Amino acid sequence: MAADELICDGTNYLRETCIGSILIIEHTEAVRVLFRTILEQAGYTVVEASNGNEGIRLFHEAPTDVVITDMYMPYPDGLEVIRKLRADFPALKILAVSGTDGPGGMLTAAKAMGADEILPKPLGVEELLTAVSNLCGRAPSRASSP
C-alpha cells in the first residue's frame, strides 16, 4: 500500500494533505470518538464539543470548514446551535445528525433551519465521509483495494 493511502472500513481512501477541518458537536462521547476517528483517518482536522454552548464557543474561537451537530443534546439542542451559527456565519456548512427522527422530526426541522445536509443515526462510514466531502466541495477520493 502506498504511503498516501488509508484503509477505512475495508475500502482504501486516498489521503490528501489538510483536506478540511470539522467541528463535531455531540453529547455522546462514543459517537464523538467514532466520528473523530473516521474523519481523522480520512485526513480531516477535527475539534470536538460535548454540548451546544461549547461547540458555539469553539467555533467562534477557531472556525472550521464544516460543523457536524447532533440534534438531541443539552445546552442548547441542535436546532438552536444551527440557528446561532447560521446567524453569525451564513456560509458555514452544517451537517445535522440524529438517532431519533420521523416525518416532521428534528432532521426535517434542521434542514428547514439551515442545515446543508442531514443524516439519521446510525450511519455508515461511507455516508459520513460522502456527506462531509460534499460539504467541503470535493468528491471522496477512492483507490481500488489491493
Identify the pLDDT of residue 102. Answer: 58
Identify the pLDDT of residue 82. Answer: 97
Hey, how many other C-beta atoms are within 10 angstroms of the C-beta on 82? 26
Residues 6 or more apart in contact with residue 30 via CB below 8 angstroms:
none
Identify the pLDDT of residue 121. Answer: 87
Instruction: Give the count of domains, the chain.
Output: 1
Q: Give the 3-state secondary structure of residue 88.
A: helix
Is residue 9 domain-resident?
A: no
| Residue ranges for the chain with pLDDT beneath 70 | 1-18, 101-104, 138-146
Task: Give the structural domain span for 32.
Answer: 16-135
Is residue 8 domain-resident?
A: no
Is residue 3 domain-resident?
A: no
Report pLDDT digits (tens) over 82-119.
999 999 999 999 999 998 765 568 899 999 999 999 99
- C-alpha to C-alpha distance for 86 and 38, rounded to whole angstroms: 26
Identify the pLDDT of residue 19. Answer: 75
CA angle 18, 128, 130 (to 5 degrees): 70
Q: Give the 3-state secondary structure of residue 21.
A: strand
Q: Give the 3-state secondary structure of residue 13.
A: strand
Question: What CATH number is given to the structural domain containing 103?
Answer: 3.40.50.2300
Identify the pLDDT of residue 101. Answer: 63
Is residue 6 domain-resident?
A: no
Is residue 10 domain-resident?
A: no
